[in-house]
Amino acid sequence: MRVVVVSSRVEAFKEPAVDQDIAFLATQGQELVVRGFHEPDWMYVQTLDGKLGWIPKGSVRQKGNFVDARGTVGSGQVPDDTSEARDSRRSSADRGQDRSGDARRGSSGDGDGGDTGADAAMRNSSGSAGGGETQVSKRGDGGEAPSSLLAPEPPSPLSIELGSAVGVALVERTYAATNMGGAGYVASATTAATTVGGDIRYRVQGPWHVGIDGNWSVLAGLTGLAYDPATGESIDLGNFLQQRTELSAKFGFQEERFSAFVRAGGLIEIFYINDLLNDGALPRERLISGTAGVQLEVRPVAPLSLGLRADVLILGALAQTRGREDGDFDTVGLLAPIAQLDGSYAVAKHVVLRAGLRFDRLVPTWTGASVRAPGVNGAERTDQVIRLLLGVGARF
């Protein structure tokens, strides 16, 4: 089947997706040969000079299917079927048969088996003017190429993206005792941040996908943790590390321009202060929690993708160094969100540049008597982390 481009300009891609490399550009009125389809919106086409690519179905219309005597698609006009026209066509056919007979007789009379002009033309048709070969597809009785030639290999249902990023993070912990105003403190730091992660998706049917994603991140407080008690002067508590590992499963749909997923998973976070005998008596901590949320993606133009991820912590448990507990752990709080904005720009088929802004908030609460701060009976702490990240990723 042949089609004609109706848009002013159409980009043909190497794969059926707008974020892939461009194979060629087609202009309005250009004729293309259809080689296959990828539901629901893509058509695999070939130009008359042999270039192949994927285009949206809505950018072309089918050309008239009248085939003239030379085997090429005509303009769609019905041939003249008057008696004079039929006689003329029969006379032309008779003359063609006479010339073919003369050529055969000339060939049989040539003792050295020399070629006729028709033989030479048949040989020449197998090559181009420059000596290269031209592949000719045979057509079946229905006028279409065999399905083995028309149907290209479909794109893989599996997609994988791996990436890493570095940046900076602002960390702040604000502690307040329920019954003692003077027992509070604020601990803050500007840290180096790094993360590595991956996203695997599998198309199960149509636009519906399942997948898993995860990341491992580190905040390195190499310039120290500033401890500001409610009473007294600021103290430097030394270096610390904060590590978090997250893993989630997800289900949703993914279209050419938009994706939406629901997510469920879990995380483990470790806060490790180097000097356990620090002047603020801050403990080392381990947080384990379930997570649930949503993930949205928008692709306004081919190489650009914008994403929003929002999760909340569910049924978290926080453990502290023995002998430094703030009391009996109660909950991570109802307002414990993870919000992340990110963008990616494809600079090559398998390479993307990434940027992200992430906000984490945790509100652990304790009941009962504090071991770390004698006299405190019940406390609440608000932990906040803001990260700005730049990185690179690979898509497969």
Beta bridge partners of 205: 208
Return the higher-pLDDT residue of 66 and 273. 273
Write out the H or E segment, with its range, that includes residue 335.
none
pLDDT of residue 283: 95
For the stretch 55-90, pLDDT in tens is 998 899 887 643 333 333 333 343 444 444 445 444
Beta bridge partners of 298: 258, 306
List C-alpha distances in Å: 4 to 52, 104, 124: 15, 42, 30
- Say what percent of the chain tops pLDDT 70: 76
Q: Which of 47-61, 87-101, 104-118 has the highest mean pLDDT?
A: 47-61
Q: What is the pLDDT of residue 179?
A: 82
Residue found by looking up tokens 């470790």 in the block: 270
Helix extents (H) in the chain? 83-108, 117-124, 147-150
How would DSSP label each residue in 143-174?
Answer: SS--HHHH-PPPPPSEEEEEEEEEEEEEEEEE
- Residue 62: per-residue pLDDT: 85
- Burial label for 15, CB within 10 Å (0-12, 13-18, 19+), is middle
174 alpha-carbon distance from chain centroid: 39
CB 47 within 8 A of CB 34: no
Helices (H), 43-137: 83-108, 117-124
Q: Name the H helices within 18-82.
A: none
Whether the CB-CB separation of 79 and 69 falls below 8 Å is answered with no
Say if residues 63 and 56 touch (Cβ distance below 8 Å).
no
- 260 class by beta-carbon count within 10 Å (0-12 exposed, 13-18 middle, 19+ buried): middle
CA-nearest of 50, 52, 40 to 13 is 52
Band (154; pLDDT cuts 50, 70, 90) = low
Q: What percent of the chain has pLDDT over 90?
A: 56
User: Is the model more confident about 118 or about 189?
Assistant: 189
| Residue 133 pLDDT grade (very low, low, confident, very high; cuts 50, 70, 90) | very low
**What is the pLDDT at residue 78?**
38
CB distance 27 to 8 below 8 Å: yes
Strand 2-5 and strand 158-177: the pairing is: unpaired
Side chain identity at 300, as an amino acid letter? P
| Statement: residue 39 has pLDDT above 70 | yes
Amino acid at 137: S
pLDDT category of residue 112 using cuts at 50, 70 and 90: very low
Q: Which residues contact 365 (CB under 8 A, 6 or more apart)?
A: 329, 330, 331, 333, 378, 379, 380, 381
pLDDT of 159 strictly over 90: yes
**What's the pLDDT at 38?**
83
41 or 285: which leads in pLDDT = 285
Query: Average pLDDT, stretch 111-130?
Result: 42
HSE at residue 378, side-chain half, CA atoms within 13 A, is 3
Mean pLDDT value across the chain: 81
- Output the pLDDT for position 252: 97
| Phi, psi torsion values for 58, nearest 5 degrees | -70, -5
State the first-to-last Cα distance of the chain, in angstroms, to the nearest integer. Answer: 32
Cβ-contact 59, 12 below 8 angstroms:
no
Q: Which amino acid is at 27?
A: T
Average pLDDT over residues 30-39: 88
Q: What is the DSSP letter of 58?
A: G
Nearest by Cα to 43 from 32, 31, 56, 27: 56
Cβ neighbours of 251 (radius 10 Å): 13
Q: What is the mean pLDDT of residues 339-356?
A: 93
Burial of 138 (0-12, 13-18, 19+ CB in 10 A): exposed
Q: Is the peptide bond before 40 cis (omega within 30 degrees of 0)?
A: yes
At residue 315, the pLDDT reads 86
- pLDDT for residue 113 is more than 50: no
* Helix intervals (H) in 109-144: 117-124
Residue 18 has pLDDT above 60, yes or no: yes
- pLDDT bracket for residue 171 (50, 70, 90): very high
Has residue 116 got a pLDDT over 50? no
Range of weakest confidence among 23-27, 99-103, 237-241, 338-342: 99-103
Average pLDDT of span 341-368? 93
> Domains in the chain, ordered, with CATH?
1-79+125-155 (2.30.30.40), 158-395 (2.40.128.100)
Please state whether the predicted TM-score (pTM) of the whole model is above 0.85: no
How large is the average pLDDT for residues 294-302? 93
Sign of the Cα pseudo-torsion (112, 117, 120, 126, in order): negative
In the chain, the largest separation of any two C-alpha atoms, in whole Å, equals 122
pLDDT of 282 > 60? The answer is: yes
pLDDT at residue number 108? 44
Find out whether 304 and 316 touch, Cβ atoms under 8 Å: no
Decide: helix, strand or coil at residue 394: strand
Q: Dihedral of CA 274/277/280/281: which sign?
A: positive
pLDDT at site 153? 57
